[in-house]
Structure 1
Amino acid sequence: MDLLALADFTLVARHGGFGRASRESGRPKATLSRRVADLESGLNLRLFERGARALKLTEEGRALFEKTSVLLAELDETTAAIASGGDAPRGRLRVSAPLLFSQAAMGKLAAQFAMKHREVRLEVTTEDRPVDMVEEGYDLVIRVNPDPDESLVGRIFLRDRIVVVASPGLHRPAGGAPVPVVERGGGTGDQLSVWELTKSGKKNRLAVQPVLSLSSLFMVRDAVRANVGAARLPLSLVANDLAAGTLVHWGDVEGPEVALWALYPSRRLLSARVSAFLNFLKEAFPEGTPEELAAYIR
């Protein structure tokens, strides 16, 4: 099988069209089209559905892309390592990370990684949505409590927990009256609810009344600092405030732990770039505690 044709097919599939693949690679569009057509002819398979304005992988094309994109990347890394006489990480590393973690730490982490591995070009995209690692060309994704995915493997590198905090000036009303609270997302309203809390091994219930809704947990924290109301926030985000006494801890929210996973496509050979980034995360968070993440937050 023609490896050059496979490489051109993978290039077109990754960029979603001949024109974009041509612009990104500098290869002539006609050459890419001809090589893909030759590959389809040799395999006796249609790899793309060609519409008037869109190019879409067929089921067979998608299956081939998922395999060849990984194998060709490993082949490139192997030949580069042999040519350089070593296995130092190099090339582009694309990472997708969730918004809160990116705002809290990724800028500093990315800078430290770039200085340590100067031959790796790190690209970080911030988004909370699920991504298709193969189709969108990511080497690694960081996600909070991800759903099981048989096509991915990974490891937990950081753990957190949700706590209820408030300004020292906000007191819990007597007689079980609702406490004003700040929430992330959704909307404010007069709907009363109850939070289940645990503190010092004792469980208690807190009646709450939403008074403010904000889209960012950093915004929620700042509103709590301003004494608008209490809030449920990750411990890492408020650990420094708790230590300084600018916020007080009312209890832990009952529920599953918050775990940050580093995920990558399941395959036998792990790229040197991904291995380097995984090791870097381990060095940055050796114990994986909320306090270690809090050290990056102001």
Structure 2
Amino acid sequence: MKNRLPDLEAWAIFAKVAELGSFSRTAEEFGLSNPTVSKAITRLELRLGFSLFARTSRRLSVTEAGRSSLERATRILQEARALEEEASEQTEAPRGVVRISAPLSFGTAYLGGTLPTLLQTYPEITLELALSDRKVDLIAEGFDMALRIASLEDSSLLARRLATVRILLVGSPDYFAKHGRPSRPCDLTNHCALGYTGGPARGIWKFTHPTLGDETVEPPVKIWTDNADILNPALMAGQGLALQPDFMVWKDVEAGRLEIGLREWSANPLGLFLVTPPSPLRPLRVKAVIEHLAREFSHAPWAGTLSAE
């Protein structure tokens, strides 16, 4: 059997139909006729030997077999666009829309401050920001990049570490004066905790000591939340202790509004990562934003501000 060229046009059309859920909207977006879109899907299904879509009079949905191919088809469409844009932008200034996902608290506190310089440097770039602690699917949802604060697991995505984020046990001076200061993690069972639900193991706090090893504790929790910012008023009011990232609390610690507990123990640090889809092909506008953010956060303002003493 002779090698056949892949039907790249049909794969790109498949990815867009799956995204929009409509043959006619895909035809409109690509500037094609409805029959051209329909024939491309039929051609691809005949070539593959299975249906890509389940069709009813009211609904179009991707079949199970189609879903197994959808991520790569989406990547084909994105990489083809990136290749064309990269080739056409060689002598042009970066321009167009860049979609960025970032955690809500971090994005509000730090990402916003980097944007005026970015837009001044690249006036033809438009930014679309999605601030949420939800872990978005970059490829399926069409994001160019994401800032993530995590202990990044193995992934097909490309990740660039920008900074270290320490996780600190903090409370107000009034709290420690009233309830005492824990000397080791096991003491936290007698304290009130303010809990963040976005961690890897809800309610389980893990600490490491350079000589005493590891300790895990599950303290009683008074507040649960999926956004750590909302814990700050309760922390300041002496209502409990919390594990907070250093970028959120370093100013309050330096000002004496919060204090670090268990200084000799450390929770597992996280990293600030810039994550992108796996293709090395990126439009010039995306490259420009990546390098700008990497420069801005390579010297994190919170890094090294809190003494371990």
- TM-score interval w.r.t. the shorter chain? 0.7 to 0.9
Identity of aligned residues (%): 22
User: Taking structure 2 as the reference length, what is the TM-score of the superposition?
Assistant: 0.74
In the alignment, does 2:112 pair up with 1:107?
yes
Counterpart of 1:216, as a letter, is: N
Alpha-carbon contact 1:162-1:232 (below 8 Å) kept: yes
Secondary structure at the aligned position of 2:37 is classed as helix
Q: Deviations over 1:230-278 (max 9, x none)?
A: 2211111111111111111223553322112112222343332332122
Alpha-carbon contact 1:133-1:140 (below 8 Å) kept: yes
Name 2:266's counterpart in structure 1: 254
Q: Deviations over 1:57-96 (max 9, x none)?
A: 61575265144223322233134315xx33x322222222
Q: Deviations over 1:143-195 (max 9, x none)?
A: 2223211x222211121111111111122438968233322249xxxxx9987
Name 1:240's counterpart in structure 2: 251
- Tell me which of 53, 58, 61 is aligned to 1:55: 61
Aligned ranges for residues 220-235 of structure 1 at < 5 Å?
Answer: 220-235=231-246
In the alignment, does 2:281 pair up with 1:269?
yes
The answer for unaligned runs of 5 or more in structure 1 is 187-191
State the Cα RMSD in Å: 3.9
Name 2:78's counterpart in structure 1: 70
Name 2:222's counterpart in structure 1: 211
Alpha-carbon contact 1:179-1:207 (below 8 Å) kept: no
Report the Cα distance in structure 2 between the residues aligned to 1:293 and 1:167, rounded to whole angstroms: 18
Aligned ranges for residues 160-199 of structure 1 at < 5 Å?
Answer: 160-170=165-175, 171=177, 172-173=179-180, 178-185=190-197, 196=207
Instruction: Say which structure is richer in strand.
Output: 1
Secondary structure at the aligned position of 2:123 is classed as coil
Please report how far the alpha carbon of residue 288 of structure 1 lies from its aligned counterpart in structure 2 after TM superposition.
4.0
Alpha-carbon contact 2:71-2:140 (below 8 Å) kept: no
Question: What is the total number of aligned residue pairs between the two structures?
Answer: 283
Name 1:96's counterpart in structure 2: 101
User: Taking structure 1 as the reference length, what is the TM-score of the superposition?
Assistant: 0.76
Secondary structure at the aligned position of 2:173 is classed as coil
Q: Structure 1 residues 78 and 212 mapped into 2: Cα distance closer, same or farther (>3 Å)?
A: closer
- Tell me which of 32, 40, 49 is aligned to 1:36: 40
Report the Cα distance in structure 2 between the residues aligned to 1:12 and 1:218, rounded to whole angstroms: 39
Alpha-carbon contact 1:164-1:249 (below 8 Å) kept: yes
Report the Cα distance in structure 1 between the residues aligned to 2:221 and 2:68, rounded to whole angstroms: 51
Q: Deviations over 1:18-37 (max 9, x none)?
A: 244356x2846625534524
The answer for unaligned runs of 5 or more in structure 2 is none
